Structure 1
Amino acid sequence: MTNVEVEPPWVSVDPVGEALHLLRMTGVFYCRTEVSAPWALEMPPFGDCLSFHVVTSGSCCLSVADAPPQYLRAGDLALVPHGRGHLLESGPQAGQAGRVDLLPQEHLSAHYSILRHGGGGEKSTLVCGVVSFEGPAARQLVRLLPPIIHATGADRPASAWIGGTLALLASEVSDLRPGGEAVTTRLADILVIQAIRSWIESDDPQARAGWLGALSDPLIGRAIAAVHREPGRNWTVASLAHEVAMSRSAFASRFTRLMGEPALQYVTRWRMHLALDRLEQGRTTVRELANQFGYGSEAAFSRAFKRMVGVAPGSVRAGR
């Protein structure tokens, strides 16, 4: 008897959209940067954070190791994931770069400053920032991003959303008004998410590989979304296959081919990354996590956690 894969009759969900919805982003620092040519700024590495730069007037060149330099014009946005150090400059022979965290700045709050720098020539204005992502979905996604994401208001399909938000941001930084800091930082956060979404919808093959590719699959994506929604459910290969109306063998083969690991291994890894996130935030105990994820004992949960994460859950909680 031949196994036939049948599309489930219910309305399809959007697993990629659900993954984006799970992104939790925290602003580490934001800076309104007013520069005049010639100028050069060095952004040091920032751990696991993502840096972004929005050019609201003028232009600049962005350089990141192992990636082609990007020329940014007014209305452009660039993301530099993975916490990598990089260089912003007015152009060739801009001179010695100043490290942004060591240059004099006007601090309007603990997380927002104005930086003025340069040689007095042609002026440019940027909104720059460093943000961090929390949660397993965010970490999984950020790991897949390329060294630079360069988006503009003219890009398709991003134009309607990114272009409008860029225009709002440019208007806000041109004339700081009461509450301007809050408006600027929130618009910048929106732009970061929009740029990531635009890249996912682009023709970049990397956006269709691995975890993202599996999420985009009409069948496997639904199974992954079900695991994300109910991580504590007693999942088996058979129950996951039933969730998307596939045979057990066809589902197991397709999942492993797209994800690069068996389905139940992904279920365990997702649970352990959720557990790590909750332990780091101090919101739960090892016993509560063992119960939530269906383990018969703390010992069984701890063994699974250490196998996936590399350290015991108790040490994570103690070192928080």
Structure 2
Amino acid sequence: MAGDALSDLLKTVRLTGATFFDIEGHDPWAVHSPAPASILPKVLPGADHLISYHVVTAGHCFARIIGDEPIPMEAGEVVVFTRSDPHIMSSHPDLRADPPTADVLDIATAGRMPFYINCAGGGSRSVRLICGYLACDALPFNPLLEALPPAIKAGDARGDGGWLGQFIRQAVSEVADKRAGSETVLTKLSELMFVDVLRRYVESLPPQQTGWLAGLRDPHLGKALALIHDRPAHNWTVDALAKESALSRTVLAERFTRIVGMPPMHYLAKWRMQIASELLSAGNSNVASIAADIGYESEAAFSRAFKKMIGVPPSAWRLGVRAAAGSGSDEASETEG
């Protein structure tokens, strides 16, 4: 059930692979990745949020968010920067790198993927990297992003039989062979790799951890979250969710609020608006049908709730007006049952 909620979220926030780089580093070398605002318009216009990742396919290197401690990386490991904070990949933890020029960023819009970059420092080759970006919607509601740390490092402790080992082999093959459809394969591979990193991260969370991912791991809360995601239009109450989740009403309400970070009915309201925003952006349904799809009895009631929670009316969101999104009231329009 918990996996279903994660899958639903990733589909609804439109997770997609964007750009793929093949990087070869010769000591000494350092590469600076800029802030998302300068990358998103080039690699995936229209997306809210950028995630970057670096997979070490051979050798070793260091990854470091600007201002943070360096993260040592070995072959078979991946680091995911969940907010794509400005960061440096380098052959030595103390090396600095100049911010990339527009010419470097323009690589992302020219030619076929993967884009090859040779970091020639004059010495022997110390690393081979497969790097890229993923994009997704952050607005109006993406609880996953709030639950993730800035950086996640994962390694294939299970050896070549694990998913990261398979990802590396397949990605290296696609990069080398450049067969028809390789861009699509690389894009989908990066999405699958990210999901696997998320699952590993969930498995590593300490028992006292809170947040949306911790909620997925809790068998009772995971059931409640899956029910909300599976049937968002259902007339849910806290009593009904508690019964389905094998908890008392009081325990569900307290545990859900403490771990997930908001009451169950508040979460339901926000999730409905996330679904509505995706349907509005797709442009294939009218407002009345969207209202019915997420459990509102009338178009007017839905429109009022959407504007109250998101800050703009549904018609404005459909036209891409997001500047005011999130500035409205954050109170759920439903009352707890």
| Change in 2 beyond 3 A, CA 1:285/1:50 | same
Distance 1:88 1:166 in 2: 18
Contact 1:39 1:97 in 2 (8 A): no
Distance 2:88 2:206 in 1: 24
1:134 to partner: Cα distance:
4.5
Using the TM superposition, name which of 41-50 and 91-100 deviates more.
91-100
Contact 1:61 1:69 in 2 (8 A): yes
Residue among 31, 35, 55 paired with 1:45: 35
Measured on the aligned residues, the alpha-carbon RMSD in Å equals 2.9
Report the counterpart of residue 266 of structure 1 in structure 2.
267
Report the counterpart of residue 253 of structure 1 in structure 2.
254
Q: Percent identity?
A: 35
Distance 2:96 2:85 in 1: 21
Counterpart of 2:277 in structure 1: which amino acid? L
| Change in 2 beyond 3 A, CA 1:100/1:88 | farther
| Change in 2 beyond 3 A, CA 1:122/1:286 | same
- Give the alignment of 1:1-320 within 5 angstroms: 14-15=1-2, 17-22=3-8, 23-24=10-11, 25-47=15-37, 48-65=49-66, 67-92=68-93, 94=95, 96-97=97-98, 99=100, 102-103=103-104, 105=107, 107-109=110-112, 111-123=113-125, 124-134=127-137, 139-154=142-157, 160-173=162-175, 175-179=176-180, 180-204=182-206, 208-319=209-320
3-state SS of 2:228 partner: helix
3-state SS of 2:162 partner: helix
| Change in 2 beyond 3 A, CA 1:21/1:136 | farther
Distance 1:275 1:93 in 2: 47
1:95 to partner: Cα distance:
5.6
Distance 1:87 1:301 in 2: 45
| Change in 2 beyond 3 A, CA 1:127/1:140 | same
Structure with higher Rg: it is 1
Contact 2:19 2:187 in 1 (8 A): no
TM-score, normalised with respect to structure 2 = 0.79
TM-score, normalised with respect to structure 1 = 0.83
1:54 to partner: Cα distance:
0.8
CA offsets 1:62-86 (integer angstroms, 9 cap, x no match)? 1114542111122211100113111
1:162 to partner: Cα distance:
2.0
Distance 1:56 1:143 in 2: 29
Matched residues, number: 302
| Change in 2 beyond 3 A, CA 1:205/1:37 | farther
Using the TM superposition, name which of 208-217 and 232-241 deviates more.
208-217
Distance 1:246 1:259 in 2: 16
User: Which 5+ residue runs of structure 2 have no aligned equivalent?
Assistant: 38-48, 322-337
CA offsets 1:164-211 (integer angstroms, 9 cap, x no match)? 3324434554x33424544444433322221111111114568x4122
Distance 1:137 1:70 in 2: 32
3-state SS of 1:195 partner: helix
